[in-house]
Structure 1
């Protein structure tokens, strides 16, 4: 599995995968008119901004046979690192890609705490994070600019390298 640092050349592929992932994972969780409507444009703008330079985030990309198979985006925040995105091509879930990306994210965080936010109704992702040692920290409501709200959970991993935690290679998010 080839994992590399993402670049501006990955913008389109990452935005498209991000959109496919949300449309698959969040059907029934987010409003369908949002998923079918402005989501693709929103993701394209987000990734153009992030990968144009000037951002402190770090993009990890997994190359697949037909393009980007998965990615993770990390944002350093002092003593913590936000795992802002971890997405795997929907047809490749449970292939081990998600687990590898999570281990690389933990390694990248080093001694800092790694954390993420996940929609409370995204039970598959929650199960994945808990299988990989994520600890639930808090719950809150996030309001989207489009006018809807969702319940969100925060999970974290204490600052340590992933090689100190048992590997689980049969699952992906």
Structure 2
């Protein structure tokens, strides 16, 4: 029996989204991104960014427990560089809820949403060192390019993946 549900995010979700965003970064990128940078991430600053995002037109969906606690989210829309179709902007899930199929459902929400917007593919950026990148590769995307991304003053390889939507 499921003890969680998925729904479109609203502005009142900003604190929960910020919490998941920051804590997911701290667990996923521990040992990859500098600890100083990870500890400098501010839930309050991230909450303000979510307020801005959710105040406009957005495609952000949350996964919440029965008690309303947000444990994950996905955000998607038009690809930002103009080179590709749709884009997965962010997908984050608290570490203790990973491996339960929630991430797959969130990715499917994004794929379905992008298809409804008329897109045939989803662009995904993932850090090459991300221990969870196998999650994306399970959907059989094509590795299109690699770029260097600077996080906290350090260089990291990022993989650009293209997933055809069916």
- Report the TM-score range of the alignment, normalised by the length of the smaller protein: 0.7 to 0.9
Whether 1:118 aligns to 2:126 is yes
Q: Which runs of 5+ in 2 are unaligned?
A: none
Whether 1:157 aligns to 2:159 is no
Cα distance, 1:39 vs structure 2: 4.2
Q: For 1:97-136, list aligned pairs within 5 A.
A: 97-110=102-115, 111-124=119-132, 126-136=133-143
Classify 1:45/1:147 alpha carbon distance in 2 versus 1 (closer, same or farther; 3 Å). Answer: farther
* C-alpha contact (below 8 Å) 2:5/2:66 kept by paired residues: no
Whether 1:87 aligns to 2:95 is no
For 1:13-64, what per-residue CA distance to the aligned partner results, in whole angstroms no more than 9, with x for missing partners? 00100111000000011110011123434422321221122xx431011121
Partner residue in 1 for 2:75 = 73
Measure, in 2, the Cα distance between the counterparts of 1:99 and 1:159.
14
Measure, in 1, the Cα distance between the counterparts of 2:92 and 2:41.
19
Classify 1:156/1:2 alpha carbon distance in 2 versus 1 (closer, same or farther; 3 Å). Answer: same
* C-alpha contact (below 8 Å) 1:57/1:76 kept by paired residues: no
Instruction: Give 3-state SS (helix, strand or coil) of 1:27's partner.
Output: coil
Runs of 4+ in 1 over 6 A off after TM superposition: none
How many corresponding residue pairs?
156
Instruction: Give 3-state SS (helix, strand or coil) of 1:132's partner.
Output: coil
Measure, in 1, the Cα distance between the counterparts of 2:72 and 2:108.
13
